[in-house]
Structure 1
Amino acid sequence: MKKYEYKVIKTTQEGFWNPQVNEIDLTSKLNNLGQEGWEMVSAVETNSHQGSTKEIVLFFKREATF
């Protein structure tokens, strides 16, 4: 039977007047995780108020080596 390990990453937005996720940094982080064998299985955004995105939560899994 396969066994898995999981990782949760939270991204936050930067900037006060027009907050945005830094796509370049996020892409780099995702590529590094992919090289380590992590597969993103889900992404969920959380709201702060009035539909504004507070953060994005990313869920990853990979086959366990233990």
Structure 2
Amino acid sequence: MRFWIQCTRFETGRPIHINIALVGSMWRDGERTMLAFVGEGQTIEVVETPEQILDRHLGPIGQA
């Protein structure tokens, strides 16, 4: 089973789809959210916060 998240690239404002299994970590850097990929050492910047990304795709935090 594959899960994809849709984020908006910070620099272009264009949507990008990312396989959630490939995202190793995410964190805030000022106004930007950084997604780091597993095994590649590559990062991208998106405009959504980590909470917005998780809420949109996995449901609100704290609800089962």
TM-score (norm 2): 0.32
Larger-Rg structure: 1
Q: Which has the higher contact order (CA 8 A, sep 6+)?
A: 1
TM-score normalised by structure 1 residue count: 0.32
